[in-house]
């Protein structure tokens, strides 16, 4: 170890003391705010308190952890105990999408949404069995480091740098977007301002202390995010299952949901609403067939209605409504076509509720088989992507030993599991609550949370009385996925302070992931590109200074890209996983488990894996094909997000074939492989702790 | 340095553990997901079994797989004398 006087035992017990004290302090803070709310503090101020108190706290930890030492800056001095590294990895891993989006996806997609839950947890088995202990033994600073040392040469390192930067950058944009969204929603600041407030939070955490600061803030962030996620679910669970651990009892709630789904499917009023949507969609499709005629007919119809009403001396409010309809009628055929196109989308609302528990629903056997294949595809790509994302793998460089790295993967998944096995429960509880309390209520007396959210943000919750009967039908409700987590405190009838807590949790999730990603990008550029390839004689101070500078530059570029609000972020996140799986997983695993794997195998294998993955996405994803890339049919009907399912096997196969066709690696490389396979070898000449 | 036969045996046993645990992982991931519709006909504490596996059963088994691996390898390291010694 680096310092003689350092004691792991004392360090660990001190950490436990600090973080217990911290958790207690946070709970006191919550209680104080709850009292303040009772005394009349406004909601906006509670939002500000959460925002500035938590960011200030992270900043405080970041400043206390400032360092200019290379090992401290890149790998937190390699002394993070397994338990704490597990918490840090949990926060690093769980992004805004996991925290806010996951339960919503499950709410909307039912069983099929569980592909993400399985994929994002099962990947840790691969990390534990194939990578973490060996990377720890290797003991350098970055993932390209390992590839370069194992396969030799700057070509491999360069491909490693590019892949690391691309997947991390795509992912970090999604995080900063989440930060902007949360700050703007809960404080009323503008989206752009929210992005930069969040950015400041990210930078104070990571810039001064690198990995050391990021690690200790991530532990703090994990504690906040898990308290924030579990509190409302426990409350809602008490309401519906009667026990404070609803995760083990919501099976029966799920049964009730299934019963209610059947009732909703058969209910005549529900059918009436669905028929209205089906008719409107059909009418729009017909209108689109002969737009000019339909536009003229429609115009004539609204005009004559108004004329008739006026002629017969109808009441003023009816005339006003008819005048409004005339004014709102599309001016020209193009505008009318756009409106009809939107209306055809209503066909989706004409369908009965999707059975929550049913796996792979579909109209026929072929559609069901396709749904199943795509489920498997997502699970596959998310798992292997997890085991190849550099910002996660890097965390296992920071433990004191190989054994601690193994134990640390256990704690990582344990802490992630806490949230991921709660999300499906929350989705079911929220659905049950809405089926039993929202559906069937009258529009005059909507549940308070529904009335509030429908007013605040119609993209998250939209309820319109389509069949004019004054009663809410499920078919009349449109829900945006993010609503589930954001509105749960109110659905459960908790005070506003808990809503603020949830926002703080979402912020912690987004900030912690963004920190880890930015650090990965900055390290790949400063350590791998600058130090290893451009100026190997750079002093340690210079290396750390350059890394800090790059961090700021990358953060600003990422915030700029975010402010452009690039399209489908969920696709980008999925794509990052597929890319990482195709590029990194085969060479990393072959590097440890197959001595014969060599330089050219790795280079051509990585290129082939990435190439196939990118090619498939380019040729099939609408975003690219709309830009003029020639479109092709899906292979086996597999969606573009799962491109890694082709990229990874191709990459692995190429490594094997090319390696066997070219000369075996040198004795020195084979010794390196032996070195990483054993936690400790007596008489081993290779140094392990990093330079 | 030259590895002894004992070292090779350590590695083979590590591979064996890895293979067995990986087989369990494969079973609770891909086999369970593939047959989810069939499993869903069985009810388990209220859940359809396929749903339960994907929502928490498989997840808990993943945690267990990693925990078991860490414990087994700690023992194996000691047995073959390749452990790092205790942290002070």
CB contact under 8 A, B25 and A253: no
pLDDT at A98: 85
Q: What are the chain A neighbours of B19 within 8 Å (beta carbons)?
A: none
The B residues from 13 to 72 touching A (CB cutoff 8 Å) are 14, 18, 21-22, 25, 29-30, 33-34, 36-37, 40, 44-48, 50-52, 54-56, 58-60, 62-63, 65-67, 69-70
Residue A654 pLDDT > 90, yes or no? yes
What number is the ipTM of this complex?
Answer: 0.96
Phi, psi dihedrals of residue A406, rounded to the nearest 5°: -60, -50
Nearby residues of A454 by Cβ (< 8 Å), 6 or more positions away: A446, A461, A462, A463
In a mutational test of the A interface, the residue from B13, B40, B63, B69 whose CB has the highest number of chain A CBs within 10 Å is B63
pLDDT at A454: 86
Write down the residue that tokens 């055809």 correspond to. A344
Assess if residue B73 is contained within a domain: yes
Assess if residue B20 is contained within a domain: no
Burial A33-65 (b: 16+ CB within 10 A, else e): bbeebeeebeeeebbbbbbeebbebbbebbeeb
Assess if residue B14 is contained within a domain: no
Q: Give the angle A659-A665-A670 at the CA atoms, nearest 5°.
A: 120
Burial A264-281 (b: 16+ CB within 10 A, else e): beebebbbebbebbbebb
> Using one digit for the tens of pLDDT, what is the confidence trace for A426-438?
999 999 999 999 9
> Using one digit for the tens of pLDDT, what is the confidence trace for A374-385?
999 999 999 999
Residue A2 pLDDT > 50, yes or no? no
Assess if residue B59 is contained within a domain: yes
A134 touches B at CB < 8 Å: no
**A139: Cα within 13 Å, side-chain hemisphere:** 23
Give residue A1's pLDDT band: very low, low, confident or very high (50, 70, 90): very low
Question: What sign results for the dihedral spanned by CA atoms A530, A532, A535, A540?
Answer: positive
pLDDT at B40: 92
Tell me the two tokens of residue B20.
Answer: 């067995």
CB contact under 8 A, B88 and A9: yes
CB contact under 8 A, A125 and B73: no
Tell me the two tokens of residue A473.
Answer: 């039908």
Per this entry, what is the length of chain A? 691
> Using one digit for the tens of pLDDT, what is the confidence trace for A392-433?
999 999 999 999 999 999 999 999 999 999 999 999 999 999
A383 touches B at CB < 8 Å: yes
Domain that residue B55 falls in: 27-81
The residue of chain B with its CA nearest to that of A404 is: B70
Residue A93 pLDDT > 60, yes or no? yes
Give residue A5's pLDDT band: very low, low, confident or very high (50, 70, 90): low
Assess if residue B5 is contained within a domain: no
Distance, CA of A646 to CA of A326 (rounded, Å): 54
- Report the gap between the CA of B27 and the closest CA in chain A (Å): 12
Assess if residue B87 is contained within a domain: no
Q: Please tell me what DSSP assigns to residue A462.
A: E
Assess if residue B8 is contained within a domain: no
Distance, CA of A110 to CA of A355 (rounded, Å): 7
**Higher-confidence position of A483 and A566:** A483
Tell me the two tokens of residue A469.
Answer: 């009967």
CB contact under 8 A, A255 and B46: yes
Distance, CA of A202 to CA of A195 (rounded, Å): 10
Phi, psi dihedrals of residue A673, rounded to the nearest 5°: -60, -45
The residue of chain A with its CA nearest to that of B7 is: A678
Give residue A685's pLDDT band: very low, low, confident or very high (50, 70, 90): low
CB contact under 8 A, B59 and A420: yes
pLDDT at A3: 46
Q: What are the chain A neighbours of B4 within 8 Å (beta carbons)?
A: none
Nearest to B77 among A128, A248, A403 (CB): A403
Q: What are the chain A neighbours of B33 within 8 Å (beta carbons)?
A: 115, 118, 372, 375-376, 379
Q: How far is the first Cα of chain A from the last one, in angstroms, to the nearest whole number?
A: 12
pLDDT at A690: 39
In a mutational test of the A interface, the residue from B25, B40, B62 whose CB has the highest number of chain A CBs within 10 Å is B62
Give residue A387's pLDDT band: very low, low, confident or very high (50, 70, 90): very high
Counting as low any pLDDT under 50, the low residues of chain B are none
The domain total for chain B is 1
pLDDT at A167: 85
Query: For all residues of chain A together, what is the average pLDDT?
Result: 89
Per DSSP (E only), the strands in chain B are 43-44, 47-48
Residue A7 pLDDT > 70, yes or no? yes
A-to-B residue pairs, Cβ atoms closer than 8 angstroms: 162
pLDDT at A15: 93
A129 touches B at CB < 8 Å: yes
Assess if residue B15 is contained within a domain: no
The closest alpha carbon to A225, from A25, A499, A487, A507, belongs to A507
In a mutational test of the B interface, the residue from A114, A405, A684, A687 whose CB has the highest number of chain B CBs within 10 Å is A114
Phi, psi dihedrals of residue A158, rounded to the nearest 5°: -65, -45
Question: What sign results for the dihedral spanned by CA atoms A333, A336, A341, A344?
Answer: negative
Q: What are the chain A neighbours of B47 within 8 Å (beta carbons)?
A: 251, 254, 357
Least confident of A180-184, A641-645, A666-670, B31-35: A180-184
């Amino acid at each position: 170890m680096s310092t003689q006087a350092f004691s792991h035992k004392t360090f660990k017990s001190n950490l436990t003391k600090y973080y217990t004290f911290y958790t207690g302090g946070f709970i006191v803070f919550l209680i104080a705010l709850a009292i303040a709310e009772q005394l009349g503090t406004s909601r906006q101020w509670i939002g500000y308190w959460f925002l500035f108190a938590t960011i200030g706290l992270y900043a405080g930890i970041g400043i206390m952890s400032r360092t200019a030492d290379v090992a401290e800056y890149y790998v937190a001095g390699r002394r993070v105990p397994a338990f704490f590294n597990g918490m840090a990895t949990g926060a690093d891993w769980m992004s805004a999408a996991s925290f806010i989006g996951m339960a919503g996806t499950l709410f909307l997609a039912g069983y099929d949404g569980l592909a993400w839950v399985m994929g994002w947890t099962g990947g840790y088995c691969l990390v534990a069995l194939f990578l973490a202990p060996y990377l720890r033994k290797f003991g350098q600073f970055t993932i390209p480091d390992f590839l370069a040392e194992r396969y030799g040469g700057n070509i491999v390192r360069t491909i490693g740098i590019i892949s690391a930067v691309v997947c991390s950058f795509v992912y970090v944009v999604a995080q900063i977007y989440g930060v902007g969204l949360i700050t703007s929603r809960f404080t009323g600041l503008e989206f752009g301002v929210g992005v930069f407030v969040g950015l400041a939070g990210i930078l104070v955490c990571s810039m001064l202390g690198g990995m050391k600061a990021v690690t200790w803030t991530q532990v703090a962030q994990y504690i906040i995010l898990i308290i924030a996620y579990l509190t409302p679910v426990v409350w809602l669970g008490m309401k519906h299952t009667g026990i404070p651990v609803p995760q083990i009892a919501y099976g029966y709630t799920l049964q009730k949901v299934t019963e209610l789904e059947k009732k909703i499917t058969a209910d005549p009023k529900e059918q009436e609403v669905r028929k209205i949507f089906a008719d409107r969609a059909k009418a729009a499709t017909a209108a689109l067939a002969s737009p000019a005629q339909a536009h003229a007919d429609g115009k004539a119809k609204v005009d004559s209605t108004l004329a008739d009403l006026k002629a017969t001396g109808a009441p003023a409010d009816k005339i006003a409504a008819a005048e409004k309809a005339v004014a709102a009628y599309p001016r020209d055929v193009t505008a009318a076509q756009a409106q009809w196109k939107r209306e055809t989308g209503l066909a989706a609302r004409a369908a009965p509720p999707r059975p929550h528990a049913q796996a792979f629903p579909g109209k026929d056997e072929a559609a069901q088989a396709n749904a199943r294949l795509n489920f498997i595809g997502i699970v596959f790509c998310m798992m292997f992507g997890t085991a190849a994302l550099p910002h996660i793998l890097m965390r296992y460089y920071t433990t004191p030993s190989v054994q601690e790295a193994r134990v640390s993967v256990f704690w990582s998944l344990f802490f992630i599991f806490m949230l991921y096995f709660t999300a499906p429960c929350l989705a079911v509880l929220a659905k049950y609550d809405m089926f039993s309390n929202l559906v069937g209520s009258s529009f005059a007396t909507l549940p308070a949370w529904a009335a509030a959210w429908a007013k605040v943000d119609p993209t998250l919750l939209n309820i319109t009385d389509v069949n004019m009967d004054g009663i809410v039908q499920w078919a009349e409700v449109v829900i945006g996925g993010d609503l589930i987590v954001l509105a749960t405190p109110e659905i459960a009838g908790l005070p506003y302070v808990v809503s603020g807590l949830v926002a703080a949790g979402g912020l912690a999730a987004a900030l912690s992931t963004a920190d880890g990603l930015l650090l990965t990008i900055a390290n790949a550029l400063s350590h791998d590109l600058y130090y290893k390839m451009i100026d190997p004689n750079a002093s340690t101070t210079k290396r750390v200074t350059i890394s800090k500078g790059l961090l700021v530059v990358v953060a600003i570029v990422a915030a700029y890209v975010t402010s452009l609000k690039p399209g489908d972020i969920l696709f980008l996140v999925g794509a990052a996983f597929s890319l990482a799986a195709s590029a990194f997983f085969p060479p990393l695993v072959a590097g440890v488990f197959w001595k014969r794997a060599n330089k050219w195998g790795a280079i051509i294998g990585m290129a082939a894996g990435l190439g196939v993955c990118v090619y498939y996405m380019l040729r099939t994803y609408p975003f690219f094909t709309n830009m003029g890339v020639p479109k092709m049919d899906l292979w086996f009907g597999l969606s573009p997000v799962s491109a890694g399912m082709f990229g990874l096997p191709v990459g692995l196969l190429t490594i094997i074939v090319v390696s066997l066709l070219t000369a075996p690696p040198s004795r020195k490389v084979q010794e390196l492989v032996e070195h990483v396979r054993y936690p400790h070898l007596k008489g081993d000449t290779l140094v392990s702790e990093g330079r | 340095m030259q590895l002894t036969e004992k070292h090779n045996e350590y590695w083979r046993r590590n591979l064996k553990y890895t293979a067995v645990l990986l087989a369990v992982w494969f079973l609770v991931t891909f086999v369970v997901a593939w047959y989810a519709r069939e499993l869903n006909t069985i009810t388990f504490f209220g859940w359809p079994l396929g749903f339960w596996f994907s929502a928490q059963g498989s997840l808990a088994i993943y945690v267990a797989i990693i925990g078991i691996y860490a414990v087994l390898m700690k023992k194996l390291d000691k047995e073959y004398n390749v452990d790092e010694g205790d942290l002070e």
